[in-house]
Every structure is written in structure tokens, then in C-alpha cells.
Structure 1
Amino acid sequence: MKVSTQQKEPATIGTTKQASNTTMGRAKGTADIPEETRQAIALFLAERSVGGRLKRGAASAAASRFGCCRQQATKIFMQKLLSLPKPRRGRPPASTSTVLIAQRVARIAATPHRRWQTLGALAHATNIPKTTLLRYISKKLVQRVTVRVKPTLSEDHKWKRLAYALAHVERPIGNSINMRK
């Protein structure tokens, strides 16, 4: 049996040597990929991506060019892609400027009371959307006031309502109820 005196040279990241097909990823004990190489991989893959998705074979090309595995190249690209600031989507948040809110509340206070009858009438009179008025009411910036109080039921009306309700209730025979006692 022959003993080989030659030792295998460990693969280094960043060289142009082609890794053999039998190895999987980085071997244990190899150095981390330097930040400059990570940047180069990310730029290389960014040129070969459309809408944040890599084109076919781009990760393999980056892996062979920079001497790392395909999964590592994809992972580096995705980390760099996710770290970029994302554009704002959806409806912009409502203005929280206290000056603007104070101006709107002053406009509401300056509106004559005859124009406050409904929320829609107040919105039309002040040129402030109903949703904004509702938000101000919920935040207690504007107080809702009831101008007309609904009258309570009269005694006669109470008896009529009770008689109507009892006419629709099934009662046992013999237990009559005198409502006027």
C-alpha cells in the first residue's frame, strides 16, 4: 500500500478554480466569504435579475465565477435584495400636522349651528370629508352634540304598546291580567 505524501490544498473562496461536483457547498473550516466578494456576487446577480427574480443559470454562473456554491450565491443575492428600502405601497397615512388639524377644528367651530344638523351637512359646509370628521369625533377633537332630544313615551302610548305586545303572547286561560290596576 502506497502512502501519498502530497496533501490536498483546501479550496479557497474567491479563486477561479472549479469546485468538483462531489463536494457540497463550503467545506467545514473554510473562511467566510469576504464582504467585497459578497458585494461583487450581489452586483453580478443584480445585472442578471428581472423584477427581483434571478434569470435561469445566473446563480450557477455566479457560483462558478466567484468560487462558491449556487445556494450561497442565491442566498447572498436575496439578503442584499431584502436589505434594500422598499417603496411605499397603499394609501398614504392621514396628515398628523397639528397646524392643519387646528385649522380644520377652527373651521368647524366657525360654522353656524344650523349647518351642523347632520354629519353630511357639516362636511359640506366646512369642506372637510365625513371620514375626517368622524376621526376627529373619535379622537375627541370635536364633540358631537344632540340638539333635539327625542320625547319620552306618553302614558297612553305606553299602555297601547303593552296591550299590543300582550295580544301577541299566548297566556293560559283563567289567568286574566288587569292592566289598569
Structure 2
Amino acid sequence: MNKAVFLDRDGVINEVLSKRVKFVNNPSQFYLLEGVGEAIRLFNEACIPTFVVTNQGGVGLGFMKEASLIKVHKRMVEELAKYGAHIDDIMYCPHKPKAGCACRKPEAQMLLDLASTHNINLSSSIMVGDREPDIEAGKKAGCKTVFIGDETDNSAQANIVFPHLLAAAPWILEELT
């Protein structure tokens, strides 16, 4: 079984709640965060499967159509390719917040499904997120967890905290290689 890195999207890969964009509801609102392309390329070069697991409640709430979400993800893939980076698979929960579904983080179903599909050993893998539900989902799946943000915001008690994905990359690489 393989080890993998699971990445939340908004706030880990792309800007959200910034001066430039509040939420990403169409491709023109998608902006890679600094260093993300380089970090994901490092995971790719180390042959670490890299997945995106993202709650996209805007679909269920009617702020965007699923077709627009697919276009946003296409834009993400295109932006990452500029850095020689790629994502192995993307899984998203389109349901409304509080819908009670098994796939919405903090539940772990997206990670479990990707692990089953791609032969991933979750206890040897890492979930990276910038919010408590991301970390809780990683823990429920049995992964180590990385919180992206400030130590004072690490209320879910992730294993380790870094300010951004590129800063976390050396630790992730050491854990997974």
C-alpha cells in the first residue's frame, strides 16, 4: 500500500477570504497561493500520490453549479501544470453544510474512498488543512495531520503546524519517503 498526502483546497492550495476573492465560485476567482505549485511538484517528484479533498457547500447552497466547480478544478490543474505539478485525484463534497452526509469534512469518507480507489495506507499518510474540519477528517481516517496557519488557530490539535504548504513540504517529504 502507498503513502499519500491529502490536501484541502481553499486556504491550502488557493486564496479564499482574501482581498482579491471571498469564495471561489468560478475559474476567474481561482488564485494559487504562493509556493503551492513548487510544494506539490516536490511531492510529485518523490512519487507521493497527491489528492485534493474539499468541501464545496456552495454547490448545495446554489451559489455555483457543479459544472462550474469542475471548471474551477480544471483551472487548478492548469495552474499547477505551470509549475510541473499535478494532482492525482480530486474528491469533493457538494452538499450543504449540516446536510449530515458522510462525505463532508469533518467526516472522513472522501479520504476513505480515495484510499480504497488508489490503494493508500491511511495510517502512513498525511492530511493537510487550514480548518478544524480538515484536521478532524484526517484524524478520523487515521492520518497524521498538518495545520496550515498560525499555531494559535490549531484548535483541532494537528500533529504539526506550518504557515503555508511550501514550509510544510520538507516535513511531509521526510514523513512519507
Into which bin does the TM-score normalised by the smaller protein fall? under 0.3
Structure with a larger share of its residues in strand: 2
Which structure has more relative contact order (CA 8 Å, sep 6+)? It is 2
* TM-score (structure 2 length as normaliser): 0.20
Larger radius of gyration: 1
Quick check: which one's helix share is greater? 1
